[in-house]
Amino acid sequence: MTLRKRWLATLSSALMAFLCVVGGTQAAQAYDDPGLTAPGGNRIAGATNGASTGEVAPAAWTPNVSPLLSQEAAGRNLTTADRNAALHNCPRLYACVAVGQGDGRHTVFFLYHCDTRTLTNFIDAGAITNRQSPGATVRFTGPGAPTLAFAPRVEPYSFYPLPYDRIDPC
């Protein structure tokens, strides 16, 4: 098996494990967005925030990283336990960035490519696991703010994303 095929098999296994955690612990109807397709065609889905059960959900916002490129995805409306599982099982060679949605739920972005992106609605507390190759530091920048930098490590870092409006994954 070539190195590329082994890498894709490892990534696929990690994303499938994440999908099992997210799908297996959610009682609400699945939230499915066609833009959230992981490598190999697997979907990354969270659950609705309770609206499908007739509950009144608290007001929330939608964090976004733009653009998400091929081999990248976002899991939305995750519980804290699912967010933690996603961060602890971040695939090798990825930076996994989580941010709160303001309603007790979280969004996790699985970033792979080294392009600077725009952040919107990164308002609540965040966490990041950088599983990229050594030396690939994730940097957050914003107007008049000192750069936040996160070196590769297996354990998640916590951070507060305001006033940062850009991310460079490596």
Closest CA to 111 of 88, 91, 125: 91
Distance of CA 2 to the CA centre of its chain: 28
Higher pLDDT, residue 21 or 121: 121
Whole-angstrom distance, CA of residue 6 vs CA of residue 138: 25
pLDDT score, position 56: 45
pLDDT score, position 121: 95
pTM > 0.75: yes or no? no
Q: What does pLDDT average to over the chain?
A: 76
Contact yes or no for 133/93 (Cβ under 8 A): yes
pLDDT score, position 59: 67
pLDDT grade for 57, boundaries at 50, 70 and 90 = low
pLDDT score, position 8: 38
Residues 118-122, mean pLDDT to the nearest whole number: 96
pLDDT score, position 60: 84
Closest CA to 153 of 108, 92, 75: 92
H or E stretch covering 129: strand 126-130
The rounded percent of the chain whose pLDDT value lies above 90 is 62
Residues 131-158, mean pLDDT to the nearest whole number: 95
pLDDT tens digits, residue range 10-41?
444 444 444 333 443 332 222 334 344 444 44
Q: Which residues contact 102 (CB under 8 A, 6 or more apart)?
A: 58, 59, 60, 61, 123, 124
